[in-house]
Structure 1
Amino acid sequence: MRPPRRPAASRLLGALLGAALVAPLAPATAATGSASADPAPAERRAGTRQVDQTRFEGAKAFRAGQLAGTRVARDRVFLGEPVATRGYDGRTYDVGRWTGRWVEPGFGLTQLVASWEARTPGDSWVEVEVRGRGPAGRVTGWDTLGRWAADDRFVQRTTVSGQDDDDTSVDVDTWKVGGTAGMAAWQVRVSLMRRAGAPTKAPSFGSVGAMSSRLPTGDVTTSRPGVARGVVLDVPRYSQMIHQGHYPQWGGGGEAWCSPTSTSMVLAYYDALPSPGSYSWVGEGHVDPWVDAAARSTYDHAYDGTGNWPFNTAFAALHTTSPEGGGAFVTRLRSLREAELMIKAGIPVIASISFGSGELSGAPISASNGHLLVIVGFTASGDVVVNDPAARDRTGVRRTYDRGQFEDAWLPTSGGLAYLVTDAEHPLPAPREHTNW
């Protein structure tokens, strides 16, 4: 579980994960679920939810950025001849950087969440930063969004909340902009670090990007059922609650592990769970030990929890990305109509919700101020079929929630936040009229 930190809803512009560079698209002004259907008047009145998803990947996109102590090879950016050294946690690291081009989403963004896919062999790690440019052209300083490594043998995964300057701040994994105008553009920088003098392979990344948004306030109107009525994906079911008391140093299981449990369900759906050797340290007799491993691999030592959104997608990307496609990133969806596009394409959606007592009928817990679960399909009437990890055991994980209640628990609270995880056999739907995927 995680506390709520988003006050409003959003509407997503999709992105092609497989493109060399996904340029920002024009902000959407209405929620739709197919190429031919125009949104209902009630949905148009719900307000403009502006979201842009931009990702950099592929040699062409990386070479168009600024390389400093880094090199591009095999569609990845590697640490090359370092341009600096850096002291961190009592050790010295060689440093190389890559800086992306400026991205203009077409609206004054007020929130941004980055995502990445990286490899950190040995004592190496990556740092992801962002800066903005205001409407008048003033450029902010760089803010750190995450210090990340694939494991915790040398460097503890962490975020840096605060950084309150330039009318911007960082709230765990989310970059926030003060005032009413928002930022006109953003720029991302990735630093690759390796222990100075270490003989290990170079760290690298194969994609990086961000979801930027400007969200309206107020209630949402329930969306009409769309293209996935009657479609339910066969996603394996895991319970977070059976891990109660496991590994207090990584959150202690139970209600704290909704995010890694949801991520594990989706990885299992793609047959992409970590190898048994990677969780051989898990105590004997632990059910679903890969969930314990996922919790350790997503734990944010500053936030003191496993609910860091990009840490979860970075973990998932390690296991689903291949030269043929796949990957994972954090985004926002405009309504369940867009979640239906994913389900129709065979892609489960991990959604962040929160609700009070009596607000989500049939839920295994009475209320939550921050919970992750997996949308796995829809009934013939358009209600939402989920794998809810808060169930006591596997048998109770599959649930059906009222469509309106679910959107009320999802869109006005997290802004429709979702993890999208794909593999080579399940690419994102192509861009289409109205939906802009």
Structure 2
Amino acid sequence: MSRAEQPSRRTVLTVALAAAVAAGAGTAVADTGGADAADPGGAPAHPVDNRAWTSYLDWRGGTAKGTRVVAGARPGVAIASPAGTVDHTDPHTGTTAAWEYATWTSPVHRLAVPATEAIASWNAHTPDGTWLQVELRGTYSDGTDTPWYVMGRWAAGDKDIRRTSVDDQGDGKSSVGTDTLAVDDAASGLCLVSYRLRLTLYRRPGTRLTPTVWRLGAMGSDVPDRFTVPASTPGVARELAVPRYSQEIHKGQYPEYDNGGEAWCSPTSSQMIIEYWGGRLTPEQLSWVDPAFADPQVCHAARYTYDYQYAGCGNWPFNAAYAATFDGIQGVVTRLGSLTDVETLIAAGIPAITSQSFRAEELTGAGYGTSGHLMTVIGFTPDGDVIANDPASPSNEAVRRVYKRREFENIWLRTKRYNASGKVVSGTGGVCYLYFPARPTPRQREALAAVGVR
């Protein structure tokens, strides 16, 4: 998103928290680990519930129509025999084409915490001639169901379809804003108590091509409605050696992707962490970029995270999915409860990409205000202050910043704030992207589990 202090195109809906959840504010997120319909009970209530389907048994547990389970180091689901053929008109190109399709539907997942928001994310391989759609259907606390909401139409490339979110989805009780399903009036007490995910895989008719999906999941959350958050106690100091890239040196480049580099905080942050994990683009992949431009991989990340409906590069799941197109990397969108959670990850060698908004005077040393901005947390000083690679910097050398712990934690975790005009607007409530190895070490796996991700 742009670093400018202006109305954001993403409407982040915030909610009032029930008293039981409010009592747990600031705790680590819950890893329900699969409290599905076949696993009643679930985990104790926490503000965030993660569930992901990643294992061979996970994929075997869903309902398949034309799909097959792929075994191996990264089990997944792919097309076996198509369930049918459908004509699809791409709203961004006007092109109508026939596509074979197959579906996989997850079991019902009962949320450990009744949720007022849900964000899906996925990791997949989509060769040219294929794409996928992710949908979510929730059950409300009043016993009724949402429609099947489209949470994204996605392909790693942009030759077959334009990857896109879908606007104007709602049923009078909830609606989808870009990548987030939110209950419209959370103060009413209505919430989601369970959901299913449906994956539709598409390919050109008559071919043997197939998308392969290795990870599919969603985060349900009910974060406290708050202007300030409790302060956490500094822990272990460590700094990770993460590459530094500035979005600002790309001003004016490829304006068809969200008006150029000044708005590329999300893909720039993603590219930094991708390269930290060893992800590299080939000269052939970068051949479309003007050779006069520095850091062409940042331009590439902007192009291949761009959401043609949102008209920006800040779609959260699209960034996670882009990261996972690199060998050996997983990506997920979640919410964390405090900087202590980030310290847990940093100690295991895992950086985090955080989403926040603030006025210039609220973050000492930033020098700007923003209605929505992504940056990478790469470590902590001995005093507990945050070491961040902030892409809203004039040069790559200036990207490394140290921000005051208390200020950073508050602007990231709050759900309400006052903008420069004194109007009450929303904050992200601790949203972050986590990119980590497809095969984490035991220590990394333990750290991820501690913050609710598996």
Q: Which band: TM-score by shorter chain?
A: 0.7 to 0.9
Structure 1 regions of 5+ residues with no counterpart?
18-22, 30-49
Matched, 1:121 2:138: no
Query: What SS does the aligned partner of 1:262 have?
Result: helix
8 A Cα contact 1:69 1:96, kept in partner: yes
Q: Deviations over 1:127-154 (max 9, x none)?
A: 0000111223322220100000010011
Query: What SS does the aligned partner of 2:320 have?
Result: helix
Match of 1:66 among 63, 67, 84: 63
Q: What is the rounded CA distance, in whole Å, between the counterparts of 2:63 and 2:105 in structure 1?
A: 5
Q: What is the rounded CA distance, in whole Å, between the counterparts of 2:316 and 2:347 in structure 1?
A: 24
Q: What is the rounded CA distance, in whole Å, between the counterparts of 1:25 and 1:250 in structure 2?
A: 42
Instruction: Give how far 1:434 is off.
Output: 7.8
Aligned pairs for 1:206-225 (under 5 A) are 206-225=214-233
Instruction: Give how far 1:429 is off.
Output: 4.0
Q: Which residue of 1 aligns with 2:76?
A: 76
Match of 1:181 among 190, 193, 215: 190
Aligned pair in 2 of structure 1 residues 247, 183: CA closer, same or farther (>3 Å)?
A: same
Q: What is the rounded CA distance, in whole Å, between the counterparts of 2:119 and 2:431 in structure 1?
A: 10
Aligned pair in 2 of structure 1 residues 97, 433: CA closer, same or farther (>3 Å)?
A: closer
Matched, 1:265 2:262: no
Aligned pair in 2 of structure 1 residues 431, 385: CA closer, same or farther (>3 Å)?
A: closer
Q: Which residue of 2 aligns with 1:300?
A: 307
Match of 1:344 among 347, 357, 362: 347
Q: Which residue of 1 aligns with 2:22?
A: none
8 A Cα contact 1:161 1:169, kept in partner: no
Structure 2 regions of 5+ residues with no counterpart?
3-7, 16-24, 34-38, 90-95, 415-426
Letter in 2 for 1:422: F
Aligned pair in 2 of structure 1 residues 27, 86: CA closer, same or farther (>3 Å)?
A: farther
Q: What is the rounded CA distance, in whole Å, between the counterparts of 2:447 and 2:263 in structure 1?
A: 36
Aligned pair in 2 of structure 1 residues 397, 134: CA closer, same or farther (>3 Å)?
A: same
8 A Cα contact 1:241 1:253, kept in partner: no
8 A Cα contact 2:45 2:112, kept in partner: no
Letter in 2 for 1:270: W
Matched, 1:192 2:201: yes
Q: Give the alignment's TM-score, normalised by structure 1.
A: 0.88
Q: Deviations over 1:94-143 (max 9, x none)?
A: 11000001111122211011110111112210000001112233222201
Q: Which residue of 1 aligns with 2:43?
A: 26
8 A Cα contact 2:134 2:197, kept in partner: yes
8 A Cα contact 1:349 1:419, kept in partner: yes
Q: What is the rounded CA distance, in whole Å, between the counterparts of 1:260 and 1:284 in structure 2?
A: 19
Q: Which residue of 1 aligns with 2:257?
A: 250
Instruction: Give how far 1:315 is off.
Output: 0.5
8 A Cα contact 1:11 1:332, kept in partner: no
| Aligned sequence identity (%) | 38
Matched, 1:54 2:51: yes
Q: What is the rounded CA distance, in whole Å, between the counterparts of 1:302 and 1:416 in structure 2?
A: 25
Q: Give the alignment's TM-score, normalised by structure 2.
A: 0.84
Q: What is the rounded CA distance, in whole Å, between the counterparts of 2:313 and 2:452 in structure 1?
A: 32
Query: What SS does the aligned partner of 2:115 have?
Result: coil
Matched, 1:356 2:359: yes
Q: Which residue of 1 aligns with 2:157?
A: 151
Instruction: Give how far 1:390 is off.
Output: 0.4
8 A Cα contact 2:28 2:450, kept in partner: no
Q: Which residue of 2 aligns with 1:93?
A: 99
Match of 2:294 among 266, 287, 291: 287
Instruction: Give how far 1:328 is off.
Output: 0.8
Q: What is the rounded CA distance, in whole Å, between the counterparts of 2:266 and 2:246 in structure 1?
A: 11
Instruction: Give how far 1:10 is off.
Output: 7.2
Q: What is the rounded CA distance, in whole Å, between the counterparts of 1:367 and 1:149 in structure 2?
A: 33
Instruction: Give how far 1:253 is off.
Output: 2.5
Aligned pair in 2 of structure 1 residues 10, 110: CA closer, same or farther (>3 Å)?
A: farther
Query: What SS does the aligned partner of 1:263 have?
Result: helix
Q: What is the rounded CA distance, in whole Å, between the counterparts of 1:432 and 1:305 in structure 2?
A: 29
Q: Deviations over 1:6-31 (max 9, x none)?
A: 336975525599xxxxx8962555xx
Q: Which residue of 2 aligns with 1:34?
A: none
Mean Cα deviation higher: 212-221 or 278-287: 212-221
Aligned pair in 2 of structure 1 residues 65, 269: CA closer, same or farther (>3 Å)?
A: same
Aligned pair in 2 of structure 1 residues 426, 419: CA closer, same or farther (>3 Å)?
A: farther
Q: What is the rounded CA distance, in whole Å, between the counterparts of 2:291 and 2:65 in structure 1?
A: 47
Q: What is the rounded CA distance, in whole Å, between the counterparts of 1:221 and 1:122 in structure 2?
A: 46
Aligned pair in 2 of structure 1 residues 51, 347: CA closer, same or farther (>3 Å)?
A: same
8 A Cα contact 1:14 1:431, kept in partner: no
Q: What is the rounded CA distance, in whole Å, between the counterparts of 2:297 and 2:118 in structure 1?
A: 30
Q: Deviations over 1:251-274 (max 9, x none)?
A: 233321000000000011111132
Q: Which residue of 1 aligns with 2:436?
A: 422
Aligned pair in 2 of structure 1 residues 148, 304: CA closer, same or farther (>3 Å)?
A: same
8 A Cα contact 1:27 1:52, kept in partner: no
Letter in 1 for 2:64: L
Letter in 2 for 1:110: T
Q: What is the rounded CA distance, in whole Å, between the counterparts of 2:128 and 2:118 in structure 1?
A: 30
Q: What is the rounded CA distance, in whole Å, between the counterparts of 2:126 and 2:307 in structure 1?
A: 17
Letter in 2 for 1:150: A
